Structure 1
Amino acid sequence: MMLPSLVASDLDGTFLDTGKRVSERNAAAVHRLKELGIPFVVATGRPARWLQCLEPICDTHPYVLASNGAVVFDLAEHRILESFPVPREVCLDVAARMRERCPDVSFGVEYGIGWGREPESPLRGDMVEAEHIGHLAEITEGRPFVKLLVVSREMDSDRLAERLMDLCDGLLTCTWSMGGPLGLLEVSAPGVTKASTLARLCDELGVDISRAVAFGDMPNDLEMLREVGSGYAMADAHPLLVNAGLPRAGSHDESGVAQVLERLLTS
């Protein structure tokens, strides 16, 4: 069997354990990829400021696609290499229609590294307070942003997606990646996904994406897992991924990514 041309992995629920740590086994697998000259790509919904967890593999210089592919980030130099901003006027129009349909929603935005939020929008456990707090029109005025955050205290993410995703059709890209009682939709520029930015990176690297391998667990990973040659859904993946008939990896708490890579790299 040929070795993978490239390996991409989501972070939360996939490459990280429940404690948000990189296991020694997963780190060792990434270092082995480095030895073999196989690119490793982190493809995460996390913003660039939430990447401290990657310290155990920082020396391998992984490619980082943050904010669901809206930001290409240089981890070693802590700088944005490329970003894909959300069109502001389209965003404001879609957001207004979302609020009309679901009056409880509030909004935030990711600028790339920093972020802004409406006063009523929760912090989401962020360790860094928003740079700008105000109504959506105010926090986006003159500030390019790569993601709109749509938050509901009344619906979880699955229910919120059912209610609002259709408002983005043909205008913006909408997905979700957070479980729990707080609903969160993540809205990017049209056509911007983990899959689209990974495909661009593969083209730039001269890598055959049909021989690439990827891992994920949530709806924002599904398109990426279908784009590559072998896309693995984690053991406790969202039902959308389970029902897609993808091959399965082990649990993120049992280094499921490393389990698959060890098999692929020695077969």
Structure 2
Amino acid sequence: MTRPRMIATDLDGTLLRNDKTLSPRTLRALRTATASGAEVVFVTARPPRFVDRLSAATGLAGTAVCSNGALVYDLAARTVTASRALPVDVARKVVAALSAVVPDVGFAVETGRNVLYEPAYGLRLPEDAGAESPVACLADLWTADVPIAKLLAWSARLDADLLLAAAEQAAGTEAQFTHSGGRGLLEISAPGVTKAGTLAELCAGRGIPAEEVVAFGDMPNDLTILTWAGTGYAMGNAHPAVLASVRRRTGTNEEDGVAAVLEQLFGPA
């Protein structure tokens, strides 16, 4: 392919190594690409606070599509420039439908700034230490008067693929369901909100067609960008559903798979 004008990349399991760091090789490749005129956009399930830490550690700036497309974030200004929240009434319908088929499921709300969780939600992420706040009961999630970037559902019993299948059967028309590989963790957005939908709007505003975008990802929530972009690469460590749907492959995140492709497109760093 010719040199792309935009590089759209997932973070966990894709651009970042398993220890959540960016390797020197990958950082050099990104800087070479941007010096050649390409724009790098992080397209991630992560909230803005996570990309803030990445930006501080690497010096990378630009734009991030966060929370699976619910938020567009300017890293330099540390400002959300666009958002599509999940309506509270829709969130309540999804909770009722999913609870009826997965009795042990617990719920949390990602606001983009922090996570509010009810007692049945037992998942704790080390990187969210200091950003997680408990509420006394499930009903209190809806009285917090905060925008819902994502509704999170967690089960200690079901893995993410089984939980996704259960949710789509119970409430598939109510919201957008996906997962990014978290243990027993389902991510729920407003209807129609996907990584690709938000990225497409961003590209339209910049006059960049899909054919001039190269995308990288590893999980089911990345499938929309990998199939929308003119060129999509599945990581060598990708989820089976991604490997089955995306023709192009690169190395694993531990092998600097993104850097390997960028070095071919833009020359060695």
Spell out, residue by residue over 1:129-150, the C-alpha distance to the aligned partner (whole angstroms, 9 max, x if none): 4245133332222222110000
| Alpha-carbon separation, structure 2, partners of 1:233 and 1:259 | 13
| Alpha-carbon separation, structure 1, partners of 2:80 and 2:123 | 23
In structure 2, the partner of 1:143 is 146
Residues 16 and 22, structure 1, Cα contact 8 Å, conserved in 2: yes
In structure 2, the partner of 1:154 is 157
In structure 2, the partner of 1:101 is 101
In structure 1, the partner of 2:8 is 8
| Alpha-carbon separation, structure 2, partners of 1:18 and 1:91 | 32
In structure 2, the partner of 1:168 is 171
Q: CA deviation at 1:62?
A: 2.4
Letter in 2 for 1:50: F
Spell out, residue by residue over 1:71-115, the C-alpha distance to the aligned partner (whole angstroms, 9 max, x if none): 111222322111110011111011111011111000001112122
| Alpha-carbon separation, structure 2, partners of 1:196 and 1:55 | 28
| Alpha-carbon separation, structure 1, partners of 2:110 and 2:120 | 16
Residues 92 and 136, structure 1, Cα contact 8 Å, conserved in 2: no
In structure 1, the partner of 2:245 is 244
In structure 1, the partner of 2:223 is 222
In structure 2, the partner of 1:187 is 188
Quick check: 1:115 aligned with 2:115?
Answer: yes
Q: CA deviation at 1:168?
A: 3.3
| Greater mean deviation of Cα atoms: 168-177 or 101-110 | 168-177
Letter in 2 for 1:35: A
Residues 110 and 151, structure 2, Cα contact 8 Å, conserved in 1: yes
Question: What is the TM-score normalised by the length of structure 2?
Answer: 0.93
- 5+ residue gaps, structure 1: none
* Residues 36 and 20 of structure 1, relative CA distance in 2, 3 Å threshold: same
| Alpha-carbon separation, structure 2, partners of 1:134 and 1:204 | 43
| Alpha-carbon separation, structure 1, partners of 2:114 and 2:226 | 28
| Alpha-carbon separation, structure 2, partners of 1:129 and 1:201 | 28
SS of 1:109's partner is strand
In structure 2, the partner of 1:50 is 50
Aligned residue-pair number: 264
Q: CA deviation at 1:123?
A: 4.2
| Greater mean deviation of Cα atoms: 214-223 or 155-164 | 155-164
* Residues 147 and 27 of structure 1, relative CA distance in 2, 3 Å threshold: same
Letter in 2 for 1:96: A
Flag as ranges the 4+ runs of structure 1 deviating above 4 A.
none
| Alpha-carbon separation, structure 2, partners of 1:88 and 1:252 | 36
| Alpha-carbon separation, structure 1, partners of 2:246 and 2:93 | 36
| Alpha-carbon separation, structure 1, partners of 2:162 and 2:90 | 23
Question: What is the TM-score normalised by the length of structure 1?
Answer: 0.94
SS of 1:82's partner is strand
In structure 2, the partner of 1:266 is 267
| Alpha-carbon separation, structure 1, partners of 2:147 and 2:245 | 35
- 5+ residue gaps, structure 2: none
Identity %, equivalent residues: 39
In structure 2, the partner of 1:82 is 82
Cα RMSD after superposing both structures: 1.6
Letter in 2 for 1:241: V
SS of 1:215's partner is strand
In structure 2, the partner of 1:200 is 201
